[in-house]
Structure 1
């Protein structure tokens, strides 16, 4: 194991759960993921303040599944969040961050839309980001029906979903009116060129490491040259982007690219709120949700969401 993996003791036990995201055995890992998902249904978080429903919409001959989380009591029009789950562009679905989004909806009073975008390797780049863009178009086109204020929406995502959120924020700056008011980037994937620094420091280790990052890009791009739609750090012009909340984990191969992107955003005049979780591994808030670190991160996210898309005072 490479690098310094001094972890918060509160989060160590959660790492003993068997790994279900093997990029070298995608079919086998997806079977394990489905089994884990079925087992988690009994403990899936529900909240009387939040109702949710699954639906889909059609575009260009395909159907895009989404899940909508709606606050029970907050009046419309309310703010909205377009959220893209993690999973290295290969794994993940509408269930694997369900608990987070129930909390986001409850704490912010906003509608949250989670998108089940197409995944690699069957659907390499740009399929996933195209689905995310189309979901934003759909959400805004149906703003009245959904009871949302099209002037108060943001994007968010974790890990690979953070890449999709950052890419959609860049696209929306230039192609969507009104553009998003914020981008919530949780330990995001951002740069296919990041092969040194934390990627190398944590090349082999616990859970998400640099080896998986390399394989992820291979499966996602499949020889297609990367552009900002795939790797948002490749975008040279960052001015005018939505304010960003960036969450970084100390012991994460993605750490340095997230720190660099946050710095570049700030240098370009974009408002940035950067938080670094000490002694934390990648996706600690999902893997060890009851830990002090995870609870701290969720409180911060709730505060940010209320500020940007919460009920107007």
Structure 2
């Protein structure tokens, strides 16, 4: 028996080493595909979000709010959910408005770390920006987070007059899981006759079935990995990815009919795990007659713009393209 157990342990150890070697080699190959300007120390970190223990540990780390752009006031309100409202001091009324939804794989994240991008949008476009602190999936799976986002959107509409907002120029945007929530929210808004003029989807997390793939064609080696993706979707849906999912809006990419949705901007890198699902969704929107702009950045990994927004030319251009699309949609009167 001892010999058998020793053999099992050796086999398990060898398998773990083999997996580690494959992961290391895959990461090296992926980093080699990243342009010099996009290389960042985070690429070399072995960190993954694969358990509740990791999520709890991250929750204990103090949140460091980002700086707010000059000329923008920040107001925190509890609807609930908690929202952050960014308002430029010089705003022509009524203005457009943006609901921004932060990322974090549906399981982590806080809107205060998005102060820089939200306040920049408010300042540059002269619009009101609202960022929502939705419930996270480990404690509150679907539909809790999406319900919070819909509540924030309906609050913007209900308070449009008091907030100095043109109801015809309200948009939604988000990155990663926030992009997935934004896509689901655009679907829900259409079905419930809540006006929405634009959806900005920054490398959105749209399709749980990506977690079923064995070959990701060189994507997903950096920052957000297949293992983290499986955990995120399992936490959000309450079941394993790929299982039957009859609930509307749970997985945006599973919606059959995309006709009538708000015009979209989708941006993603070709090294991002979500590259294939995002490109496919953009194509389906286009086929459904939804005006859609797709931006694919060579050598860009998941979240690269967040790490290098002010230093890498390609990331500056990526964010500028997104903000230009927003400007067209909400910054000036039709």
Give me the TM-score of the superposition, normalised by structure 1.
0.90
What is the match of residue 282 of structure 1? 302
**2-structure distance, mates of 1:199, 1:130:** 34
Q: Give the Å deviation of 1:20.
A: 7.1
Q: Which of the numbers 9, 12, 23 marks the counterpart of 2:50?
A: 23
Over 3 Å counting, the alpha-carbon distance change for 1:16 and 1:271 in structure 2 is closer
Question: Over the residues paired in the alignment, what is the CA RMSD in angstroms?
Answer: 2.1
Higher strand share: 1
Alignment of 1:1-313 (within 5 A): 1=23, 2=26, 4-5=29-30, 6-15=33-42, 22-24=49-51, 25-32=54-61, 34=62, 37-38=63-64, 41=65, 44-57=66-79, 63-177=80-194, 179-195=195-211, 200-202=216-218, 205-223=221-239, 226=245, 227-290=247-310, 291-312=312-333
Q: Give the Å deviation of 1:202.
A: 4.7
Aligned length: 300
Asked if 1 retains the 8 angstrom alpha-carbon contact of 2:103 and 2:177, the reply is yes
Asked if 2 retains the 8 angstrom alpha-carbon contact of 1:198 and 1:254, the reply is no
Asked if 2 retains the 8 angstrom alpha-carbon contact of 1:199 and 1:209, the reply is no
Over 3 Å counting, the alpha-carbon distance change for 1:121 and 1:18 in structure 2 is same
Asked if 2 retains the 8 angstrom alpha-carbon contact of 1:203 and 1:211, the reply is no
Over 3 Å counting, the alpha-carbon distance change for 1:195 and 1:91 in structure 2 is closer
**2-structure distance, mates of 1:304, 1:144:** 25
What is the match of residue 60 of structure 1? none
Q: Give the Å deviation of 1:163.
A: 0.8
Asked if 1 retains the 8 angstrom alpha-carbon contact of 2:77 and 2:83, the reply is yes
Q: Give the Å deviation of 1:164.
A: 0.6
Query: Whose radius of gyration is greater, 1 or 2?
Result: 2
Over 3 Å counting, the alpha-carbon distance change for 1:259 and 1:16 in structure 2 is closer
Asked if 1 retains the 8 angstrom alpha-carbon contact of 2:50 and 2:227, the reply is no
Q: Give the Å deviation of 1:131.
A: 0.6
Q: Give the Å deviation of 1:96.
A: 2.2
**2-structure distance, mates of 1:144, 1:239:** 30
Structure 2: gaps (5+ residues): 1-22
Asked if 2 retains the 8 angstrom alpha-carbon contact of 1:199 and 1:254, the reply is no
Asked if 2 retains the 8 angstrom alpha-carbon contact of 1:202 and 1:209, the reply is no
Give me the TM-score of the superposition, normalised by structure 2.
0.84
Residues 198-238 of structure 1 deviation map (CA, whole Å, 9 limit, x = unaligned): 97235762211111111111111112853441210111111
Over 3 Å counting, the alpha-carbon distance change for 1:83 and 1:284 in structure 2 is same
Structure 1: gaps (5+ residues): 58-62
Asked if 1 retains the 8 angstrom alpha-carbon contact of 2:260 and 2:289, the reply is yes
Q: Secondary structure at the match of 2:74?
A: strand
